Amino acid sequence: MNSPTNDDEEDQGEIFLDESDIIHEIAVDDEDLPDADDEAGSDDAEDVEEVDDSMHIFTGHTGELYAVACSPTDGALVATGGGDDKGFLWKIGQGDWASELQGHKDSVSSLAFSTDGQLLASGSFDRLIQIWDINSGNLKCALEGPGAGIEWVRWHPKGHLVLTGSEDSTVWMWNADKSAYLNMFSGHGSSVTCGDFTPDGKTICTGSDDATLRIWNPRSGENIHVVKGSVQPMIVDGCNILFQLENEVCDASNPIYRVGVLPRQMNHKHIFHAQNGIHRALYLGHPYHTEGLTCLTIASDSTLALTGSKDSSVHIVNIITGKVVSSLSAHSDSIECIGLALSMDEQLPLGLQLNIAACLSSLFGICSIHYPMHFVIMRSCMLVMARCIQVCGYRLCRREGTSVWDSLSGDCVRTFSGHSDAIQSLAVSANGEFLVSVSLDGTARVFEITEFR
């Protein structure tokens, strides 16, 4: 028997089944059937999840946002940049005021205000750095030199010297007042992903995708230290240590060692295992990154640099000696951001380096809690506010938000919602009243944080 066509069904209107049409009966428990009220309520639940805690939304951009900076002197002034090749200056609470920063021909990847708030630097993948006069809103100058996109922009803490790192493995420094080139720092073997002046302005630290940290003299351009993964393997023989000679392959068939005595002050924290081919050895000292650096921060006394890497580790380096003084391992994926609470930084002991490193290690053991607490993070950013309060932007599989954590207790004290895609950068206003976040959803959102000041 031929089945009726769709046209026949439409002509017949509603079709009912007779008992003779039943082929087989299946018993179904009423509890397994969906409830009509529940289905209607699911839409309501989704509506409830779409909470927006922001008090101001800037929507001037037409693409994804990557960078945000708040003026250090004006509590309302914000700069944002993104994938629409534009930057904007706008003010919190003044939705009708905005100034477009024109001229870039590719994504605006980084923004930074000078310490006195008079100038703004915008870096782009078009290889240009543009300097803007905040009072007039006009372009002051465009700085050229790098042969590839700009990764980051930083200002000297005491003047109008601007520092940038490029994808072409170089670092450049200019005098923004005179639009004058001052120095180019070369030596890295891959993109320079992070860098900054030390707070005293006397040294430059840069990290690269080549897995090294380089420490520079800004005046002469001299590369003072290169910090990279190189430690001496050893085999413990009773109370003695057999140190492998430098540049020799750690292989059981080629045991070329010199004998040394284990220093009495050494403990298990200074010794770690590593697999090298078929030979398992002990290593003395702290290792360094094995994959590209992604971020760094510098202690306020300009003596220590903390670096994060794709290899999921954090290392603490003495800037003066170029030695790794401590290593922190708690994460299982790339470290995307790193920060140091100012209130703890100022209270660090000025004694032994290992004591300083221990304080930092304790701090970061607590700080790192925001990763497992969010479970699945696809992209994150972080900044540290006063009183050991840190803010983390995150993206879960189906949720984006900004969480505020107390790094002493490890508690999440507040979560801000509103974005619909991954958060890329965070900044706090000069008066400490507002948090600004930018996202791949094309918006910048402002949240009130007066309670955390």
The answer to whether residue 342 is domain-embedded is yes
Taking Cα atoms as reference points, which of 383, 380, 377, 396 lies closest to residue 435?
A: 383
pTM: 0.72
| Res. 327 pLDDT band, cuts 50 70 90 | confident
CATH at 157 = 2.130.10.10
User: Do 190 and 264 sit in the same domain of this protein?
Assistant: no
Structure token pair of residue 8: 């026949």
Domain shared by 89 and 178, yes or no: yes
Q: Which of 332, 357, 378 is the last residue of a domain?
A: 378
Q: Which of 343, 378, 413 is the last residue of a domain?
A: 378
Same domain, 258 and 329: no
| Residues 245, 118 share a domain | no
Question: Do 291 and 277 have their domain in common?
Answer: no
Beta strands in 319-419 (DSSP E): 323-329, 381-385, 389-395, 400-406, 411-416
pLDDT digits (tens, 9 = 90+) for 379-418: 345 555 444 445 555 443 334 677 777 766 777 788 889 9
Q: Using 50, 70 and 90 to split pLDDT, how confident is the model at 336?
A: confident
State both tokens at 300: 């306020």
Q: How many domains does the chain have?
A: 2
Domain boundary among 378, 397, 418: 378
Tokens of 214: 């380089």
Domain membership of residue 23 (yes or no) is: no
Is 29 inside any structural domain?
A: no
Task: Look up tokens 């974005």; give the residue.
Answer: 419
Same domain, 143 and 123: yes
Residues spanned by the domain of 135: 56-227+287-378
- Do 263 and 337 sit in the same domain of this protein? no
Structure tokens at 358: 């221990």
Question: Cα 306 from chain centroid?
Answer: 13
Residue 441 exposed, middle or buried by CB count within 10 Å (0-12, 13-18, 19+): middle
Judge if 163 and 296 occupy the same domain: yes
- Do residue 268 and residue 291 come from a single domain? no
DSSP state, residue 240: E
Q: Are 376 and 397 in contact (CB under 8 A)?
A: yes
Higher pLDDT: 153 or 18? It is 153
pLDDT for residue 380 = 46
Q: How far apart are CA 452 and CA 213, in angstroms?
A: 34
User: In the prediction, which pLDDT does 355 show?
Assistant: 30
Does 246 score more than 80 pLDDT? no
The residues, any chain, with a CB within 8 Å of residue 285's CB and separated by 6 or more, are 231, 232, 270, 324
> How many other CB atoms are found less than 10 A from the CB of residue 204?
24
Do 335 and 369 fall within a single domain?
A: yes
Residues in Cβ contact with 202 at an 8 Å cutoff, skipping those fewer than 6 apart:
218, 302
- Whether residues 213 and 69 share a domain: the answer is yes
The Cα–Cα gap between 252 and 350 comes to: 43
With tokens 């939705």, the residue in question is 95
Tokens encoding 146: 């790098």
> What pLDDT band is residue 22 in, cutting at 50, 70 and 90?
confident
Q: Indicate whether 246 and 294 sit together in one domain.
A: no
